[in-house]
Amino acid sequence: MSDKGVINQDFIRQTVQDEQYYWNNIEVICQSVLADKKKETYVPILAAIQEVLGDDAQSGVVKLLAIRLLGTLVYPQSAQIEQYSTNTNFVSRLLKSNDILNILYEICLYKGEVQDDNRGESMFKSEGKEIGKEFLRYCLEFVRFLATTWENSKTNSGDIVQTQFSIIYQNLLQSGIKFPDKNVYFGEFKKKKSSKTQQSQAATQQPSSKVQKQVAGESAGDKLIADCLSHVEPLLNMVNSNTSIIPAIQDSKSLLKFN
């Protein structure tokens, strides 16, 4: 960080160079960005991430930490940092970062002809299969998460337009890119419902006590009618067959007396 405590580009570069250093600082970075009302941290963070992702000389581990940092700043829960919510201001800035989005698009195209979730295994051959597989999967899930969570946006004139996130995702789908069947890193971002909506749903789902009593009364009445019909039906059958109905009547009287 700088002397003023503001996160700068050098600090972000250093953070993604070492895994232990990354995990020691990720929550501090996340907290600083979410508390940054002036958005002073946005530019250096995005610049450092763009630099790392676009540099072919960087290792797979460094690239993986860089994309994880970006994903965590958008959606803290993806790194189990549950106490922080999604920062829509940071998302808005990312939406305008065409260079990063173009790099993500190119990454997702890797071996696009292969319909296999593990096709990233050969991205960083010298570092083993797992780094490349995890890196590509994270990028694919991240792009899909961005596109499905912020599919549309409103212009200054009030028009609803497709976001760049969504455009990139649709282009990848049209190119035949296979996305993972299930998310490992990103869940669905659910917007909070208004209290009026929740009250309306509660009123619809939970009947009042008067309604419940009425339903209970109707159920008891239906049972009584069913019991009566079960004893009347044999009497009618006996009448139709000219059979003596006296024993049946006596049984019915006995039933009524004891019930």
Whether residue 2 contacts residue 8, with contact meaning beta carbons closer than 8 Å, is answered with: yes
Q: What is the mean pLDDT of residues 185-195?
A: 55
pLDDT digits (tens, 9 = 90+) for 89-114: 999 999 999 999 999 999 999 999 99
Residue 69: pLDDT over 70: yes
Lowest model confidence (mean pLDDT) among 22-31, 101-110, 175-184, 250-259: 250-259
Per-domain boundaries in the chain: 9-191, 209-258
State the burial class of residue 259 (Cβ atoms within 10 Å of its Cβ: 0-12, 13-18, 19+). Answer: exposed
Strands (E) located in 48-106: none
Q: What whole-number distance in Å separates Cα of residue 78 and Cα of residue 96?
A: 22
Give pTM, 2 decimals.
0.70
Q: Quick one: average pLDDT of 199-209?
A: 40
Res 225 pLDDT > 90: no
- Are 180 and 137 in contact by the 8 Å Cβ rule? The answer is yes
Look over the chain and give the mean of its residue pLDDT values, rounded to a whole number: 78
CA angle 169-174-175, nearest 5°? 95
Helical (H) or strand (E) element with 160: strand 160-162
Would you call 18 exposed, middle or buried from its count of C-beta atoms within 10 A (0-12, 13-18, 19+)?
Answer: middle
Q: Which of 147, 120, 169, 138 is nearest to 65 (CA)?
A: 138
> H or E element: which one contains 212?
helix 209-240
Residue 158: which pLDDT band, with cuts at 50, 70 and 90? confident
Spatial distance between the Cα atoms of 126 and 136, rounded to a whole number of angstroms: 16
Query: Could you give the CA distance from residue 103 to residue 139 in angstroms, rounded to a whole number?
Result: 10
The whole-angstrom separation of Cα 122 and Cα 110 is 10
pLDDT of residue 80: 73
Inform me whether the pLDDT recorded for 179 exceeds 90: yes
Contact 76, 88 (CB under 8 A): no
138 closest CA partner among 52, 67, 66:
67
